[in-house]
Amino acid sequence: MDLQKRLDEAAKAHDIPGATLAVWSDGRLYEAATGVVNRNTGVETDTDSVFQVGSTTKVWTAALIMQLAEEGLLDLDKEIGEYLPQFALAYDAQITVRHLLTHTGGFDGDLFEDTGRGDDSLEKFVAFLHGAGKVHEPGELFSYCNAGYVVLGAIVAKLRGTTWEQAMQERLFTPLGVTHAALLAEEAVLFRAAAGHIGPDNVVYPKWQMPRSNAPAGSTLCLAPRELVKFGRMFAAGGVAEDGTRVLSEESVAAMRSPQVPVPGVPGLMAANWGLGFELFGWGAYGHDGGTPGQSTFWRVSDDGTFAIAASINGGSFMGLLTDLLLPLLREGGRSVPDLPTPPEHPQAVDVSPYLGRYAGPQLAYEVTEAGGGLQIALIPGAFMASMGQEATSARYVHLSDDSFIAAELQDGRYDTASFIVRDGVATHLHNGRAVARA
């Protein structure tokens, strides 16, 4: 498996400053690294380098929750207030632990309030959520919710009587034998830590670490890709680490890998269903993706456990790496990965009146107008998204199927899709992994 040559070529072709890749196949681990962790310093990337892995962290947080459930300290179907009395939204909602695990809690998820570096940062964030807006009724709909996983992390800290970071170290890193990992900046400096690069010129993102208050959702965890492969193999082994240590019960692993809620829209990078923490793909794999400013992580484990892959990059085109290297590797590993969706050659003109209007969330808004039998969708980023390099965009979308549309032109190596939740003949939400409510 000539990973090194293929990774070098893909990184060069897609202007990726640095990347690391780990693959488990044929009963052994293969690794490769290329480029630099930081173009300002020129420090080379190696297979020990740690990258911010973003939302792949959510599966680690979910595993900590499942351990609590195994010990009888928590019931997934009890309301959050049973464990965090300070969790109280401004509106009445009966939200359970399971709702948070499956992104069906129904409140605004893209809230990244910085509540400081203290051990009480999660507790303060939970109090901040009192002002979170309502997106939908609990359990009604899948809508990706970062804030929900912060609440789960706060539950872990409360019930364990420690910090979320300490629980991660004691309950997952140590039994799994994870060594190349960092949860805080002062730990990351002990490794070759990647810096994110943003924009068309791959400028180093000036603020390296996101708020600690969002750590359980993915703001701080740094890993070498082999550690994600190791974590994935534990699930493939029914909850047992490489050295035989039991980390999770077989029942917990089965529950995490079982479909809990369908994901609206067009299957592509997003899964068709969500489990308890995991994205579940209909083509025979589970995993999760992650992103922080200028860094992206891809992680998949085959259902039969014979193949696993994890890759991280610190800028450039993630979609280019995906289409040129990661998806081909999955197919070579025996997975029947479908192609990403493309627009029809002759798009059908449809009545677009149910979809027209403005949809807004805490970090961005969409303006949807008619465009020749299809839609023109303008994305308007808020201040946080703009600081991450997201620019305002406007693109024409054509009808794909049902209430789903697809971009007519290629954007960063893929055709974006947008789906709508329609009730009583009018779209109430624009959905692209997150449900963004009509304003």
Active site residues: 55
Distance CA 32, CA 37 (A): 14
In sign, the C-alpha dihedral spanning 53, 57, 63, 64 is: positive
Taking phi over 0 as left and psi of -120 to 50 as alpha, with beta for the rest, 9 belongs to: alpha
Looking only at the bridges linking them, the beta strands covering 285-292 and 279-281 are antiparallel
Q: Dihedral (C-alpha) 201, 202, 204, 205: value to the nearest 10 degrees?
A: 100
The strand pairing partners of 428, in sequence order, are none
Write out the H or E segment, with its range, that includes residue 70: helix 57-70
56 token code pair: 């792949």
C-beta separation of 304 from 285 below 8 A: no
Please state, in angstroms and rounded to a whole number, the distance separating the CA atoms of residues 61 and 81: 19
Q: Which residue is listed with tokens 């259902």? A: 303
Instruction: Please tell me the total number of residues recorded for the chain in this structure.
Output: 439
Cα distances (Å, whole numbers) of residue 195 to 83, 138, 315: 37, 37, 9
The DSSP output letter for 72 is T
- Report the SS3 class of residue 185: helix
What is the greatest pairwise CA distance in the chain?
61
Reading phi first (left if > 0) and then psi (alpha if -120 to 50, else beta), residue 389 is in left
Q: What is the DSSP letter of 246?
A: B
Q: How far apart are alpha carbons 296 and 52 in whole angstroms?
A: 8
Pair 183, 221: CB distance under 8 Å = yes
Q: Which of 169, 194, 153 is nearest to 47 (CA)?
A: 194
